[in-house]
Amino acid sequence: MSEKQLPEFKDVLSAADQIEGYAAKTPFLKAYDLSEKLSAEIYIKPECLQRVGAFKFRGAFNRLSRLTDAERKRGVVAYSSGNHAQGVAASAQILGMDAVIVMPEDSPKMK
């Protein structure tokens, strides 16, 4: 088994370029109470405003959009009980490819 490599900053920049125009630009909001309590400037990024209501869309779209044409024609399979499944499904739909989502029987019904 190969050792996983941590992403470098250039990878983050590449991902940002890849999802540009597809992922929502969610705002930074100052967390006033927390900032005061910690004596620091604390900001939050409400990814609930993202497509599918979660940050998982960003990673799913970044990965699926980098597939070759041959890989896209084969489609993808994802196993998830929640937000990752929604991110993969939405990304596949945008990219015009098939996706099969496998979910456990005890997944939350709202997902």
Residue positions annotated with a catalytic role: 56, 81
Residues 87 and 65: their CA atoms lie apart, in Å, by 12
Are the C-beta atoms of 50 and 67 separated by less than 8 Å? no
For 5, the token pair is 């490599």
In this structure, the number of other CB atoms found within 10 A of the CB of residue 81 comes to: 15
How far apart, in whole angstroms, are the C-alpha atoms of residue 83 and residue 58?
Answer: 11
